[in-house]
Chains A and B, each alone.
Chain A
Amino acid sequence: MTAETIIQSLASGLLMGLLYGLIAVGLALIFGLMDVVNFAHGEFLMIAMYATFFLFAFFAIDPLLAAPLVAAALFVFGAAVYLLVVRFAMRAKANAGMVQIFSTFGLAIVMRGLAQFFFTPDYRSITHSWLGGKTISLGGIYLPEPQLMGALVSILAFVALYFFIHRTDFGRALEATREDNGAVALVGIDKNRVFALGWGLGAALVGLAGAIMAMFFYVYPDVGASFALIAYVTVALGGFGSVFGAFAGGIVVGLVEATTALVLPPSLKSVGIYAVYLLVVFVRPRGLFGSI
């Protein structure tokens, strides 16, 4: 193992990690806002990837151009999921924890079933997108352009999210609702609207990630499952609910995955991520960057 291979895989790990951050941030946003884990998060990613694939297959819209469209569509979808499912799950008086877990889990199963039914379990991929298959060489390190674009989009999305949360009225309403969702009603903020917009925003972010990923991952009905688990780990590492913890958590996960792949057989590369999750929560039950 030369220094070059190590740097090469760390660089790929970093790029992938930034994308993991983007996949996970919607989950963190929703959790921070209302203490709900969306167990259908992976399926949100899956439909975003399918949407990108079909836009490309039928209308020849490149994934880069499709990304904003897919994000907008996912925004509507996320808000609808809140209004039609999660809103009612929040009202449960008996077995509240169980209801929250299984209502979104049930939704995930339905979405996977619908994808299998309508799109068949076949693996699909986008060939000949603008960036697909191209690489850039930086001093002997090869970086695939789609992944590089993914990392760039992720960084831009986090910067935009930062300004959005801190500089806009809606962002402030989001923060206020996260602090105390009872008190915000007193100052005229409609809690349900903020929650719906929060779900929309969270879904839009994972939609953005899905559009980028459709450039270099196969699209199939179960694709969300493995990425969802990585997203939960990312969010937990960052401290559940911390939006910027998700960014840092994503980078950690990407680097750990790349390092594991250097040491262990490639089929075991996820073991490193899972082990790090367990290690972190055993030592710090509220994640690396979470507040106690």
Chain B
Amino acid sequence: MDKNFAERRRRELLLAACLAAVAALVPLFVKDVYVQNIMVLTLMYAALSQSWNILSGYCGQISLGHALYFGLGAYTTALLFTKFGVLPWFGMLGGGVISALIAMALGYPCFRLRGHYFVIATIVIAEIALLLFQNWNWAGAALGIDIPVRGDSWLKFQFTRSKLPYFYFALALAAVAWFVTWWLEDSKWGYWWRAVKDNPDAAESLGVVVFNSKMGAAAVSAFLVAVGGGFYAQFVSYIDPESVMGFQFSLLMALPAVLGGIGTLWGPMLGAVILIPLTELTRSFIGGSGRGVDLIVYGTLIVLISLARPTGLIGLFSRQRKAAAP
């Protein structure tokens, strides 16, 4: 069985490498800027959801406040660049570190809360941060920050003429988030997290330090989401509190994982590949007259999936695999 397990993990790594290689070739054939834009967003949400999944899926601490880390990443990157001329690369890393530290500081009191008390605490904390940023004049308050264009370069991570560099960065981010999950899944952390999710009391009695393993999951999760936030700030080159720290981001990070399969390696990827293009396409096809149709479509999807397939769409694939190779 051990051998099978190692074999399966190797195969998963190979599959991921193949998928990434194929994805990297797609822009050579798809030149349409609108479609490229959707692909960038899809990869970004795949990365975000994959990161969210570490804390909420694997460790079972459902956070609906991850917009906080996304916003912190975006703001750190944008503020460091516009106020001090620090390159976005350092901004993204700095935002990641700040977010990881804040996640642990918040985790210290929050991880004692269970169930709904925890979920509501995450919403409330992100909401407080949103209100503070909306009133923080130095950081542009509710008007936000316009990131000045200083010419296309990888050094400044700004590209006005082509979406491709953003595409490749988003692809790399999604790949890193996937790889971190893959790697942690089979580390002692991965086992701790699943034990904490299934039964924290039993885990504690078996010597898992529940509190520390939650802290670890929160830090990794927040770091990756913040890097995504920094990327988003560069990608859209204009941020304001509502557009990077609003509740909808917390939700948009959670939904792909829920749809694809919460607490699974491939769930967030699958969910993002279905959900994000679907949302963007319904939005543009139906257009301004039918505002809200995108909400109706993915809200319905979420209700149906969570009722009919609580383990997510990824379950469909694993069943087939089992049937094919008994």
A contacts, CB < 8 Å to B: 31, 37, 85, 88-89, 92-99, 101-103, 105-117, 120-121, 221, 225, 229, 232-233, 236, 240, 265, 267-268, 270-271, 274-275, 277-278, 281-282, 285-286
Contacts of B125 in A (CB 8 A): 274, 278
With a 10 A CB-CB cut-off, give which of A107, A236, A281 has the most chain B CB atoms: A281
Give the CA-CA distance A285 to B120 in the complex, in Å.
Answer: 12
CA distance A196 to B62 in the complex (A): 27
Closest to A112 in B: B295
B62 and A97 form a contact (CB under 8 A): yes
Contact with A along B302-314 (1 / 0, CB 8 A): 1110110011000
B128 in the interface, Cβ–Cβ < 8 Å? yes
Within the assembled complex, what's the spacing in Å between the Cα atoms of A88 and B304? Answer: 10
The 5 closest A-B pairs by CB, nearest first: A116-B292, A113-B295, A109-B299, A106-B302, A110-B299
Q: How far is the CA of A109 from the CA of B247 in the complex (A)?
A: 12
In the complex, the answer to whether A281 meets B116 with C-beta atoms within 8 Å is no
A-B contact pairs, 14 of them (CB 8 A): A102-B254, A105-B302, A106-B303, A109-B298, A112-B295, A113-B293, A113-B294, A116-B291, A117-B296, A236-B117, A271-B132, A274-B125, A275-B128, A281-B113
A102-B127 in contact (CB<8A): no
Is the contact region of chain B dominated by helix, strand, or loop, or is it mixed?
Answer: helix
B62 and A107 contacting across the interface, CB-CB below 8 Å: no
A98 to B124, CA, bound (A): 19
Dominant SS at the A interface?
A: helix
Chain B residues contacting A103 (CB-CB under 8 Å) are: 302-303, 306-307
Which residues of chain B are within 8 angstroms of A105 by Cβ–Cβ distance?
251, 302
Q: How far does the Cβ of A215 sit from chain B's closest Cβ, in whole Å?
A: 26
Which residues of B, 41-97, contact A by the 8 Å Cβ criterion?
A: 60, 62
Specify which of B113, B290, B311 is in contact with A117 (CB 8 Å cutoff).
B290
Please tell me which one of the listed residues B113, B254, B292, B302 contacts residue A114 in the complex, with CB atoms under 8 A apart: B292
User: Shortest CB–CB separation between residue B114 and chain A, in angstroms?
Assistant: 7
Q: Are B124 and A229 in contact (CB under 8 A)?
A: yes
Closest to B303 in A: A106
Pair B310/A270 contact, Cβ less than 8 Å:
no
Q: Is the CB of B116 within 8 A of A240?
A: yes
Instruction: Tell me, yes or no, whether B210 is within 8 Å of chain A by CB.
Output: no
Could you tell me if A113 and B299 are in contact, using CB atoms closer than 8 angstroms? yes
Known: A89-B307, A97-B115, A109-B302. A114 touches B296 (CB 8 A): yes
Q: Is the CB–CB distance between B299 and A106 below 8 Å? A: yes
B135 touches A265 (CB 8 A): yes
Which residues on the A side are within 8 Å of B301 (C-beta)?
106
* Identity of the chain A residue whose Cβ is nearest the Cβ of B290 in the assembled complex: A117
A108→B299 contact, CB < 8 A: yes
Q: Hey, which chain B residues are within 8 Å of A225, CB to CB?
A: 247
Q: Shortest beta-carbon distance, A174 to chain B, in Å?
A: 21
Question: Within residues 109 to 158 of chain B, which ones have a CB less than 8 A from any CB in chain A?
Answer: 109, 112-117, 119-121, 123-125, 127-128, 131-132, 134-135
- Contact A278 B115, CB 8 Å, known A105-B251, A109-B302, A267-B134: no
- Residue B300 interfacial (CB < 8 Å): yes
Q: Please give, as numbers and ranges, the residues of chain A lying within 8 Å of B98 by CB-CB distance.
A: none
B262, CB-defined interface residue at 8 Å: yes
Once bound together, how far apart are the Cα atoms of A110 and B120, in whole Å?
A: 21
Contact with A along B199-227 (1 / 0, CB 8 A): 00000000000000000000000000000
Cα A282 to Cα B114 in complex, Å, equals 11
Instruction: Give 7 A-B pairs besides A110-B303, A270-B127 with Cβ atoms closer than 8 angstroms.
Output: A31-B116, A97-B60, A106-B303, A112-B295, A113-B297, A117-B290, A221-B292
- Report if A281-B121 is in contact (Cβ < 8 Å); known contacts: A37-B116, A95-B311, A109-B295: yes
Q: Are B291 and A117 in contact (CB under 8 A)?
A: yes
In the complex where A109-B295, A109-B298, A268-B131 touch, is A274 in contact with B117 (Cβ < 8 A)?
Answer: no
- For residue B298, which residues in chain A have a CB less than 8 angstroms away from its CB? 109
Closest to A274 in B: B124
Expressed in whole angstroms, the minimum distance between the Cβ of A248 and any Cβ of chain B is: 18
| A92 with B310: CB separation less than 8 A | yes
* Contact with A112, one of B112, B113, B262, B292 (Cβ below 8 angstroms): B292
